[in-house]
Chains A and B, each alone.
Chain A
Amino acid sequence: MKVHIDPGRCQGHGRCYTLAPGLFGEDEEGYGQVVGDGVVPPGEEQAARLAVANCPELAIELQEEA
């Protein structure tokens, strides 16, 4: 499983880095950033789905197999 943020859509609501701090971080202006290469480590799948389900801008893409 892999996550990706579309920088064209992200407006820095920060739901992702609040709900899944292991997978997302903020940049110096508050926009969301994927930690590392975006590959979701085992055990973090639920957090990844939660972030996707709460991003108001629909900016997070989730690839189930990666």
Chain B
Amino acid sequence: MTVDDRFTRDHRDTRGELPLGTRNEIVVGPVSDWAEDFSHLEPEWAADPYPIQDDLRRRCPIAHTGRFGGGWLPTRYEDVAAIAYDTERFSSRSIIMSNYRPPLELAPIGATPPISSDPPFHHDARKLLLPAFTKSAVAKREAATRAFCHALVDGFEGQPVVDAARDYAQHIPMRVIADMLGFPPEDGPRFREFVENALEGVNLPPEERLARMESLFDYLYAQIRDHVENPRDDLTTYLIDAELYGRKLDPAHVAGTIALLLIAGIDTTWSAIGASLWHLAKTPADRERLVAEPELLPTAMEEFLRAYAPVTMARLVKEDMHWRGVDMKADDWVLLSFPAANRDPEQFERAGEVVIDREVNRHVAFGLGIHRCVGSHLARMELRVALEVWLERVPAFTLDDPGAVTWSPGQVRGPRTLPLRIG
């Protein structure tokens, strides 16, 4: 047997010939007019984006910005769905709206397949992941997840106030994905750092952003090499051994997919758990009803996902075109707001209200079309178990100080500080 030396060379060497992509001037500071100058990285958006989105939907409905080198923000369900389905004209080459556009040559694979991939490659890269993430595959992790949630609540002993984002929500997806990838569970704090760099460090200087990305990949390559030497029954070994088109994957594909699973799995689910607890802490009627009727939780959970959808994606416009009343240019960003789509009154009755027994709920928190969240069954299991355990163990809780709650800026939004009074 030959030694697998794909991961001994640094992945960056293999990218040497590629052009560098384009960078634009970084613009930060208060937004003058959300219709002409939007930025999802400003504090006003992080604190409460829904009134902004509702206003834009009424008067625009596709907002523009000159920041990030130019981009668009559709706010109607119809437009968000049309873009998600139209992979011919909107590329996933980069799905984080930033001040850097990766080179065209990166398509159709992208840096983190399959989320960064376009057809036809996308389908094959995605297919590799699907079996590990089906509803029945993730059900096998439910018992361990539940035990872990109980252990976190055990840790609240003696504290009248706990931070539900920091002490509960964040740890659950970190532990689950560490187990699936076969990474040391005690590396949780490093995962948090990687996630924040990737998703919240968007307006940092490019060299800084690059350096932080490199530290993520340094970490991943070390983990991958360790798995090459000591293969295990986990996703990392699975990806190292996986084949496409009759040969093993490119090292950059393996590392990119692992980076994706680490980043996409953590703060998304952490945000969904946190936002649900935040809602219940400030809405005693809903909290009491769920404690009394635990069988309603699966329905209520879908409503939390609709109303507080944590994830917004991005696309790059492929060619100049007139699209639904606006002139899009090649390489313009589109901020694909699943949260805004989920609150469109044309699509949902009482769109702005949280209706925990809503029976008809075609929300798009996990996206639409070919990029439907691979982790949606896993995320739903984690969210359900996290809320079940919390409501069983801590049935009475309130916001300790509403003003102390903080929300993450950028494309994944959820509570990052959430002090709850539990005793």
- Contact between chains at A26 and B135 (CB < 8 Å): yes
Q: A18-B298, A53-B360, A56-B363 are in contact. Are A11 and B135 (CB under 8 A)?
A: no
Within A15-66, the residues touching B (CB, 8 Å) are 17-18, 26, 28-30, 50, 53-58
B215 within 8 A of partner (CB): no
- Contact between chains at A13 and B376 (CB < 8 Å): yes
B131 within 8 A of partner (CB): yes
- Contact between chains at B135 and A17 (CB < 8 Å): yes
- Contact between chains at A14 and B377 (CB < 8 Å): yes
- Contact between chains at A54 and B360 (CB < 8 Å): yes
- Please pick, from A13, A53, A54, the residue contacting B366 in the complex, using a CB distance under 8 A: A13
Nearest neighbor of B362 in chain A, beta-carbon distance: A56
Residues of B within 8 A of A18 (CB): 135, 298
- Contact between chains at B127 and A50 (CB < 8 Å): no
For B366-404 the 0/1 string (1 means CB < 8 A from A) is: 101110100011000000000000000000000000000
- Contact between chains at B362 and A53 (CB < 8 Å): yes
B364 within 8 A of partner (CB): yes
Residues of B within 8 A of A26 (CB): 134-136
Docked Cα-Cα span, A55 to B302, in Å, equals 12
Docked Cα-Cα span, A53 to B359, in Å, equals 8
B147 within 8 A of partner (CB): no
Docked Cα-Cα span, A12 to B366, in Å, equals 11
Chain A: number of interface residues, binned into ranges: 10 to 19
Docked Cα-Cα span, A37 to B143, in Å, equals 34
B361 within 8 A of partner (CB): yes
Interface centre among A28, A53, A54 (most CB of B within 10 A): A54
B7 within 8 A of partner (CB): no
B130 within 8 A of partner (CB): yes
For B328-342 the 0/1 string (1 means CB < 8 A from A) is: 000000000000000
Docked Cα-Cα span, A28 to B377, in Å, equals 13
Residues of B within 8 A of A14 (CB): 135, 376-377
Nearest neighbor of B133 in chain A, beta-carbon distance: A30
Q: A50-B359, A56-B363 are in contact. Are A11 and B377 (CB under 8 A)?
A: no
- Contact between chains at A28 and B135 (CB < 8 Å): no
Residues of A within 8 A of B135 (CB): 14, 17-18, 26, 30
Docked Cα-Cα span, A29 to B366, in Å, equals 17
For B118-138 the 0/1 string (1 means CB < 8 A from A) is: 000000000100110111100
Within B343-372, the residues touching A (CB, 8 Å) are 359-364, 366, 368-370, 372
Docked Cα-Cα span, A13 to B363, in Å, equals 11
- Contact between chains at A30 and B130 (CB < 8 Å): yes
Docked Cα-Cα span, A46 to B131, in Å, equals 30
Q: How far is the CB of B309 from chain A (nearest CB, A)?
A: 12
Nearest neighbor of A53 in chain B, beta-carbon distance: B360
Q: A26-B134, A29-B134, A30-B377 are in contact. Are A11 and B369 (CB under 8 A)?
A: yes
Q: How far is the CB of B135 from chain A (nearest CB, A)?
A: 5
Q: How far is the CB of A12 from chain B (nearest CB, A)?
A: 6
- Contact between chains at A29 and B368 (CB < 8 Å): no
Docked Cα-Cα span, A28 to B130, in Å, equals 8
Q: How far is the CB of A34 from chain B (nearest CB, A)?
A: 16
- Contact between chains at B130 and A11 (CB < 8 Å): no
Docked Cα-Cα span, A14 to B135, in Å, equals 8
For B241-276 the 0/1 string (1 means CB < 8 A from A) is: 000000000000000000000000000000000000
Q: A30-B377, A53-B362 are in contact. Are A13 and B372 (CB under 8 A)?
A: yes
Docked Cα-Cα span, A6 to B421, in Å, equals 48
Q: A11-B369, A14-B377 are in contact. Are A56 and B364 (CB under 8 A)?
A: yes
Residues of B within 8 A of A50 (CB): 359
Docked Cα-Cα span, A60 to B89, in Å, equals 27
Q: A28-B131, A30-B134 are in contact. Are A11 and B368 (CB under 8 A)?
A: yes
Report, nearest first, the 4 A-B pairs whose CB atoms are least far apart: A29-B130, A11-B372, A30-B134, A53-B360
Q: Please, could you name 23 A-B residue pairs with CB atoms under 8 Å apart, sorted by A?
A: A11-B370, A11-B372, A12-B130, A13-B366, A13-B372, A13-B376, A14-B377, A17-B135, A18-B135, A26-B135, A29-B130, A29-B131, A30-B130, A50-B359, A53-B359, A53-B361, A54-B361, A54-B362, A56-B362, A56-B363, A57-B368, A57-B369, A57-B372
Known: A18-B298, A53-B362. 20 other contacts (CB 8 A): A11-B369, A11-B370, A12-B130, A12-B372, A13-B366, A13-B376, A17-B135, A26-B134, A28-B131, A29-B127, A30-B133, A30-B134, A30-B377, A50-B359, A53-B360, A54-B302, A54-B361, A56-B363, A57-B372, A58-B362
